[in-house]
Amino acid sequence: MTRGERVIAFIEGFCRVPEGTHVGQPIKLAPFQKKLILDIYDNKNGTRRAYLSIARKNGKTGLIAGILLAHIAGPEAVLNSQIISGAMSRDQAALVFGLASKMIALEPRLQQVCKIVPSGKKIVGLARNVEYRALSADASTAHGLSPALAILDEVGQIRGPTSEFIDAITTSQGAHEHPLLIAISTSAPSDADMFSLWCDDAERSPTPHVVCHVYKADENSDLDDRAQWAKANPALGIFRSLKDLEEQLAQAKRLPALEASARNLLLNQRVSLERLAFAPSVWRDNSGAPDIDVFRSNPVSLGLDLSARSDLTAAVLAARDGEGVVHLLPYVFTPQQGLEERARRDRAPYDTWVKRGDMVAVPGATVDYSFVAQYLRDALSDLEIEVATVEFDRWRWELMKKEADECGFASFATWNPVGQGFKDFAPRVEAFEALLLAGKIRHGGHPLLNMAAANAIAVSDAAGARKLDKSKSSQRIDPIVAAVMAVFQVSEGRDDTLQGDVSWMVA
């Protein structure tokens, strides 16, 4: 019997279901759980790290408890060793400890060899003097400990690339020749979050000491695609309720505000749990290609978000056709110098988009507004498009306006300043969202707009007015900010919507 097979035999022979319908019955590991255990413990190169990314309600915490007991009182127990489980909150840490304690209470053989200390969330394996402690980030750290095994529960909740709590745990394992860290969690919301970085690194640069199992639905899958449910929920039909999953996803499909949470928690996709401004499925439903002729024969509004000179500057054109559909045409600029470094920082393939022509690299280390103004002048001239109005963020606008005037870009356009607070931006967000929900936007699936829409977070004031918040977004959202500003001027139903004969635009 291999090492992994012994762990499986211990869990199924000594551990009982701690709660629920089948409480007290012997645990029967699902095939995906057995595969993880075998890959970890039968790795001929030795496993130092193992990651399991999976949707909620697929037995993550129960699996952690079973593995812990195998190290406390089972075949993996090492004399005088320390093991820990780490979670970001007290409640989550208590859950792991609680399940392990219940498993011990349900099995007389484990009661004889384990001592539970509830006050310290500690379990001692008496036969080998193994000490287990449950830690939480909001209570204490792993400083002073030296765990041979550390199991991290729901590390997908960590925002950003690092965590002092996790760093304390990983560095505390340095005294061991063969330490093992296991992270089991639902997907993190963003590519830039720690658990995403770990999993992506394991996929891109596989090493023999790292085991990584990811169960997730495809990025653009529909909420009612049952084949995708199974990809993210390998316990479906075993101990993951099909009826419960069906009801929750049906509700999310009816209520766009619930979609982001459902995709992240139930389909294990990287979608922010903060309130996304625009539901992913609704955004995809508006991905029809824009028609250049609409821009030539109708008034055109330009949304302009300059941002910082070393980041993205976005200009998005909007025009409405005879059926009330608004077409979008984006131009996004970034400095050529440092392009690859910013691509890594922002977790976005800027260099690839530049090569494909989806993004414009501006010579130098900063975005030169004279270059932007001349590029837009020439590009729109070639397409025979004239701009009737420019909606712009006030930040640095006078520099851009000066360059536009000098090169003759948007010479006859009306320039309208747009505040980025609730007063100015709330009606623009509402107009944009209304068009999306009605299926009356054609953004062409442009990758920069897709990136921005997938990360745009809406925040509300006390009156319920909403605006986009760049500080809460994990990636750049400048293109969608520019699009929202541009669309407002041509949105149907506004008293001052650009209308009528456009022959005046011809010089």
Q: Is the pLDDT of residue 505 over 60?
A: no
Convert the pLDDT of each residue in 321-350 to its tens digit.
999 999 999 999 999 998 888 888 777 888
Residue 46 φ/ψ region, left for φ over 0, alpha for ψ in the -120 to 50 degree band, beta for the rest:
left
- For 457, the 3-state DSSP assignment is strand
Q: What is the structure's pLDDT at 462?
A: 59
Question: Would you list the domain boundaries of the chain?
Answer: 3-215, 283-505
Q: Which CATH number fits domain 3-215: 1.25.40.10, 3.60.15.10, 3.40.309.10, 3.40.50.300?
A: 3.40.50.300
Q: Which of 101-110, 138-147, 345-354, 465-474 has the highest mean pLDDT?
A: 101-110
Cα–Cα–Cα angle for 160, 256, 490, rounded to 5 degrees? 95
DSSP state of 326: E
Beta bridge partners of 194: none
Report the distance separating Cα 478 and Cα 311, nearest Å: 9
Place of tokens 């830039």: 192
Please give the pLDDT value at position 266: 94
- Checking if the pLDDT of 89 tops 80, the result is yes
Q: What is the pLDDT of residues 381-426, one digit of tens each?
A: 999 999 999 998 877 778 888 888 989 988 888 888 888 788 888 8
Q: What is the pLDDT of residues 69-82, one digit of tens each?
A: 999 999 999 999 99
Question: Which helix H or strand E contains 117, and what residues bound it?
Answer: strand 114-117
Q: What are the pLDDT digits (tens) for 119-147? A: 989 999 999 999 999 998 865 565 667 89
pTM of the model: 0.62
| pLDDT given at position 500 | 37
3-state secondary structure of 52: strand
Question: How is residue 37 written in tokens?
Answer: 């255990």
Q: Which long-range contacts (CB under 8 A, 24 or more apart) does 341-350 make?
A: 342/310, 342/311, 346/192, 346/475, 346/476, 347/190, 347/191, 347/192, 347/475, 348/451, 348/475, 348/476
pLDDT at 182: 96
Q: What is the pLDDT of residue 247?
A: 92
pLDDT number for residue 502: 33
Nearest alpha carbon to residue 304 among 402, 362, 391, 427? 391
Region 29-57 average pLDDT: 96
pLDDT tops 70 at residue 118:
yes
Distance, CA of 182 to CA of 300 (rounded, Å): 55
SS3 297: helix
CATH 3.60.15.10 matches 283-505: no
Planar angle of CA 308, 312, 315, nearest 5 degrees: 110
